Structure 1
Amino acid sequence: MTVTLSSAPPADIRLVSPVSDTSSAGSRESSVSGGQQAVGSEVIKRQRDHRVDALRGIALLMMFVDHMPQNLLNRLTLRNLGFADAAEIFVLLAGYASWLAYGRGFSKYGTVETLRRLALRCGKLYLAQTLMMISFVVIIRTWRNFTPVPVDFLEPELAHGVSNLWRVFLLDALPSNLNILPLYMVLLAAFPLMYGLIKINRFVALGLSMLLWLVINLDPTVNFPNWLDPDGWYFDPLAWQFLFMLGACGAIEAGRHEGNLPSFSWLRILCGSYLVFSLLEAFPWTQWGLPVIRPLALPSPDKSTLAPLRLLDVLSIFYLVQSSQLARKFSETRLGQALALCGRHSLEVFTVGTVLDLIGRLIFTTIGEGWLLQATINLVGLWILYRVTVVYERKRNRARGEAATIGRSPSREKAVS
């Protein structure tokens, strides 16, 4: 989920792509934070753009905070600051990075190799999903040996036995907090079809994708079946595919402008104004003891079908970030780099964070929700997630170093000559 992909650079020159991939597929050329590209006899220095990595890191850490309902810190995450939340950002950036890894991969590595890499990534996502489910069952059953655990910590249909766990492994049953990776798997599996439509005509592909999204919003009953919920998958793939498609097309457009989306002052003002409106509508005024100043007092837009208000929210955020040089500068600070590191190892961060969420919820339920405990749970959890990224970054760097050593070995050079 962390390896970047860029178009092939000239020999012995490492070119950095503007974003790391969410998959393990991709080239190793974009492995440093700064790079060079040869153009004729000149050498142009190019610095890596960490904005998308940092934004994905923010989304992942917000997911960690949001998945503990007792966590007071989630009052400051996107879910309470606008219509959309971290899940929308995650899926949008998944589409963005998938184009960099696989959209370019079809022409660079060939159809068979790219399909193999897609299948491998889906397999890793399924493995992560399985490990999280097993961890949930083991942790909850162990905890129950010492203190009662509310039945809803694991869906009631699964809480009293394991006879129906096979439904989870076949994705016929998606428990709460374990339902976004299956969505990602479905979208990745559908990527070859999306790629084919985009290659025919990008705007036709977007139009067809939007039409399907509109159909689902008009008829929310069209969904994948979920044994645990008669309404189907919480994240309806037939609706959320539009956000994934928008991410892929956004990567194409940004690739034409050195990683930036074209900056228009009028559009930036429009997006900023919409986000202010979204903030006023979604902010938990009463939880903070403040008077409610919602302009329209709109009901919360449906998340399952990716309601229009949510879609506009996440697109506004992404446009302002990816068209902003200030956001680029922030991503180059120490804090921005730490967030980008989380974004580059998003599968590992999400998997570990989801298990930590369960433990945090159990601790809050068993011990209490005092301020000291709140601070401890959040600080320890965030520190663990950061250390996970450090471990995997070192592992990746070692692998790259070994690959570079093999590439420079005398036998290799003799074979090439």
Structure 2
Amino acid sequence: MTSERDHRIDFFRGLALIFIFWDHVPHNPLGQITLRNFGFSDAAEIFVFLAGYAAVLAYGKILQRDGYLIACVKILRRTWVLYVVHIFLLAMLMGIVFFANSHVETRDLVEEMGMHHFITNPQQALTDELLLRFKPNLMDPLPLYIVLLAGLPLVLPLLVRKAWAVVALSLTVYLLAPWFGWNLAAIKDGVWYFNPVVWQLLFVLGGAAAIYGQRPRLPDTRSLMHQPLFVSAALYVVFAGVITISWRWPEIHDAVMPAWLSNLLYPISKTDLSPVRLMHFLALAYVTAKLLPGRSWTRNWWAQQSCRMGRYSLEIFCLGVLLAPLADMINAMTNDAFAMQIFTALVGVGLMGLLGAWLDFNKRLTQSPIPATA
């Protein structure tokens, strides 16, 4: 495996973090330009796929260099860090939501965030928090990543050597899970909003893409319009975009949508990663990779800001989770004025960018050699 960092991965991971923040602020106008408005999938698919890509790329190198035991130890150590961050992040989020709720009279933000379980039964809520069973709104992606990363040592050696076998096994589990109702338990006899038994497929596909991307292969000299796979993927992306945009006008959608197609598409489950969502993301990822094969465009100043956020995805994600209810509070206190909604959305992204810049500066500062004194 090559050690050169692919800044395109950082860019799209940073872009996904921006989309996640905007999508989590209710009535945010900039939330109307995120991925979920133009296709069946959204930023969650980007986040999980690139998490698998980055994890296999990083720990696959450690596996080859230092052996399986060291790779397992480092994976589990990272998983523990994520678990501790999840506990502290949830505590901070509850504090912010309770604070925001005391300043907003027209809505119950505690109820909207799914935190009444902590009020009605705090002791059980603390236990559920430690068991990853209590996950208020905004907190679902991190527990999913914790579970997926914790399971990586089980498949990493085979994934590095025979990725197709792991993908086949993962696909089998994905197809069987909805039929047998496989999911993890959550509070009040519920289940995880992101079912890790099916979302693991996207994580594994990301890892397989990392393995495949490191292997030398002959470039396809045909034009994109003469590549059947690209054309098929592009047509599906356009089809999904048209269907999704039509949801804004239910009367028109219901009038033009054939019954057979409606029965085939709906319901589009996010919990069980509906096949049409999965296929949309894979098609979109393939089209994007074909249209942006090089890396020179990541040197653009705006792209570099997203790349920087993507390099520190855990810290930026946590900040976005904490900023979303604060932005919602400010918007609600100003009666959801359009200008204030735009302002809070842009300020939030600006603060995320500043955190990325600080983390990048601090990393360079700690890595710079200390000059020897005479």
TM-score by length of 2: 0.88
Offset, 1:110:
2.4
Q: 2:208 aligns with which of 243, 246, 249?
A: 249
1:349 equivalent to 2:316? Answer: yes
How many residue pairs match? The answer is: 360
1:195 equivalent to 2:152? Answer: no
Residue 145 of structure 2 corresponds to which residue in structure 1?
184
Residue 341 of structure 2 corresponds to which residue in structure 1?
374
| Greater alpha carbon shift after TM alignment, 107-116 vs 69-78 | 107-116
Alignment of 1:173-322 (within 5 A): 173-199=134-160, 201-219=162-180, 221-228=181-188, 230-257=189-216, 265-283=227-245, 285-286=247-248, 292=253, 296-297=261-262, 298-322=265-289
| Greater alpha carbon shift after TM alignment, 113-122 vs 361-370 | 361-370
Residue 355 of structure 2 corresponds to which residue in structure 1?
388
Residue 156 of structure 1 corresponds to which residue in structure 2?
116
TM-score by length of 1: 0.79
Equivalent residues of 1:342, 1:349 under 8 A apart: yes
Q: Which amino acid aligns with 2:183?
A: N
Offset, 1:146:
4.3
Highest RCO, 1 vs 2 (Cα 8 Å, sep ≥ 6): 2
- Deviations 1:194-228 (Å, cap 9, x if unpaired)? 11332453222111110000001333x21111014
Equivalent residues of 2:79, 2:150 under 8 A apart: yes
Larger proportion of helix? 2
Q: Which amino acid aligns with 1:206?
A: V
Give the Cα–Cα distance (whole angstroms) in 2 for the partners of residues 168 and 367 of structure 1: 33
| Greater alpha carbon shift after TM alignment, 359-368 vs 334-343 | 359-368
Distance 1:327 1:63, change over 3 A: farther
Equivalent residues of 2:141, 2:194 under 8 A apart: yes
Residue 25 of structure 1 corresponds to which residue in structure 2?
none
SS in structure 2 at match of 1:316: helix
Offset, 1:250:
0.3
Give the Cα–Cα distance (whole angstroms) in 2 for the partners of residues 377 and 284 of structure 1: 28
1:336 equivalent to 2:324? Answer: no
Give the Cα–Cα distance (whole angstroms) in 2 for the partners of residues 208 and 262 of structure 1: 33
Give the Cα–Cα distance (whole angstroms) in 1 for the partners of residues 221 and 350 of structure 2: 36
Offset, 1:140:
2.6
SS in structure 1 at match of 2:310: helix
Residue 170 of structure 1 corresponds to which residue in structure 2?
131
Equivalent residues of 1:72, 1:374 under 8 A apart: yes
Offset, 1:80:
1.3
Equivalent residues of 2:29, 2:342 under 8 A apart: no
Distance 1:154 1:305, change over 3 A: closer
- Deviations 1:293-328 (Å, cap 9, x if unpaired)? 667454351111111111111111222223334663
Equivalent residues of 1:236, 1:304 under 8 A apart: yes
Equivalent residues of 2:128, 2:134 under 8 A apart: yes
Distance 1:93 1:280, change over 3 A: same
| Greater alpha carbon shift after TM alignment, 348-357 vs 318-327 | 318-327
| Greater alpha carbon shift after TM alignment, 169-178 vs 267-276 | 169-178
